């Protein structure tokens, strides 16, 4: 394995470690109830722009990131990878990233059992609050799609559009959940970090596996 590849894998591992540590810090603050000012300030700012149009847009975004829609997008992407691009190992990566993020969210919610916000509720939703499941879902979904599509887009403009669209969707989903009053900002931040960690682990594992196979056949 060459030096450049070793450096790349080491950096990927460090990203995993960094995201895990950041999530741990947020989780600790949440468990100690030391994020009230942070949460209330952002909720007040985001909900200060309330309007019927924004409420409808936020509800639509929430539906797109729901457990009823994300699986359909995942299946469509998996079918495209398998039958069109013939990248069958990438199908496993796709499912592991998105499915694993959902499982991780369920585990973390049961661990922390944080109740949902009561400051201003625009839309009712059941279940625990930390970390945000919608935020974890969009990071896993759009993050892995960016990773898989990146090498198939050769132009800088195309890659820029890909990054901008994915980032906009991730940020918009987080804001929508805060706006609707179903999540604290710290829930969203925790979701981003937890899913980012899992996504980085999946990509690091996939790269390591592919490179071991590549050098094994030489």
Give me the pLDDT at residue 214, please: 66
What pLDDT shows up at residue 5?
57
pLDDT at 3: 62
Written as six digits, the tokens of 137 are 């879902």
pLDDT tops 90 at residue 94: yes
Mean pLDDT, residues 49-69 taken together: 88
What is the span of the domain harbouring residue 31?
3-216
What band does 218 get if pLDDT is binned at 50, 70 and 90? Answer: low
- Kindly state the average pLDDT of the residues 192-213: 89
Residues 2-29 pLDDT 10s: 565 566 667 778 889 999 999 999 999 9
Q: Is 151 helix (H, G, I), strand (E, B) or coil?
A: coil
pLDDT greater than 80 at residue 110: yes
pLDDT at 65: 82
Claim: this prediction has a pTM higher than 0.85:
yes
Angstrom distance (rounded) from CA 183 to CA 111? 17
Q: What's the number of domains the chain is made of? A: 1
Give the residue from 200, 218, 213 showing the smallest Cα distance to 22: 200
Average pLDDT for residues 40-63, to the nearest whole number?
91
Whole-number Å distance between alpha carbons of 139 and 196: 7
Decide if pLDDT at 209 tops 90.
no
DSSP letters for 62-91: HHHTSTTTHHHHHHHHHHIIIIIS--HHHH
- Cβ 209 vs Cβ 144: under 8 Å: no
pLDDT of residue 183: 95
Task: Please report, for residues 75, 94, 123, 150, 203, the alpha-carbon distance to residue 81 in angstroms, rounded to integers and kept in the order given.
Answer: 10, 9, 36, 13, 16
Q: Can you give the pLDDT at residue 20?
A: 95
**pLDDT tens per residue across span 140-173:** 999 999 999 888 888 999 999 999 999 999 999 9
Q: What is the pLDDT of residues 170-188, one digit of tens each?
A: 999 999 999 999 999 999 9
Task: Tell me how far apart the terminal alpha carbons of the chain are, to the nearest angstrom.
Answer: 11
Q: Quick check: 217 pLDDT over 70?
A: no
What distance lies between CA 101 and its chain's CA centroid?
A: 8
Q: Mean pLDDT score of the chain, rounded to an integer?
A: 89
Q: What mean pLDDT comes out for the span 192-209?
A: 93
């Amino acid at each position: 394995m060459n030096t450049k590849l070793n450096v790349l894998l080491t950096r990927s591992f460090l990203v995993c470690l960094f995201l895990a540590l950041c999530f741990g810090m947020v989780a600790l603050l949440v468990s100690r109830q030391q994020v009230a000012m942070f949460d209330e300030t952002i909720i007040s700012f985001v909900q200060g722009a309330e309007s019927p149009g924004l409420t409808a847009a936020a509800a639509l975004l929430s539906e797109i990131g729901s457990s009823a829609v994300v699986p359909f997008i995942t299946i469509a992407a998996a079918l495209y990878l398998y039958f069109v691009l013939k990248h069958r190992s990438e199908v496993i990566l796709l499912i592991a990233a998105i499915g694993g993020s959902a499982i991780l969210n369920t585990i973390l919610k049961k661990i922390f059992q944080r109740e949902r916000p009561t400051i201003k509720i625009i839309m009712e939703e059941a279940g625990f609050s930390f970390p945000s499941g919608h935020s974890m879902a969009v990071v896993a979904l759009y993050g892995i799609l960016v990773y898989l599509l990146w090498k198939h887009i050769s132009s800088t403009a195309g890659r820029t559009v890909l990054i901008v669209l994915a980032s906009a969707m991730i940020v918009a989903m987080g804001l929508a959940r805060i706006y609707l009053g179903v999540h604290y900002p710290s829930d969203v931040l925790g979701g981003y970090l937890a899913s980012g960690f899992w996504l980085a682990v999946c990509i690091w594992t996939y790269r390591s596996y592919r490179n071991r196979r590549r050098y094994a056949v030489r």
